[in-house]
Amino acid sequence: MAGSNDSTHLTHIKKLEEAHNFAVWQKQCYNIMLQKKQAKPIKVKGVKPENMEQDDWDELNELACSTIELSQSRPALQ
């Protein structure tokens, strides 16, 4: 699928801790998602491209959400 299973990229950024480091975290997390080929859900603002299968989109979206959640100091509350 579109993305690396290697989570070592996430160890190189400071995790999100409330709002005080959001701007730096956001840029670093986005760049990691670009490297892992997971940024499409953000680029297209959550709208599935017409030329993409639903299963592929769902998997890519889950990977992107996982990368974001793993880069936070505490898990996001659902």
The model carries a pTM of 0.74
* Contact residues for 67 (Cβ-Cβ < 8 A; gap 6+): 10, 29, 32, 33, 36, 38
pLDDT of residue 3: 47
Q: How many CB atoms lie within 10 A of CB 71?
A: 21
CB–CB of 34/73 below 8 Å? Answer: no
Q: pLDDT digit string (tens) for 11-41? A: 577 888 878 889 999 999 999 999 999 999 9
Question: What's the rounded Cα separation, in Å, for the pair 28 and 22?
Answer: 10
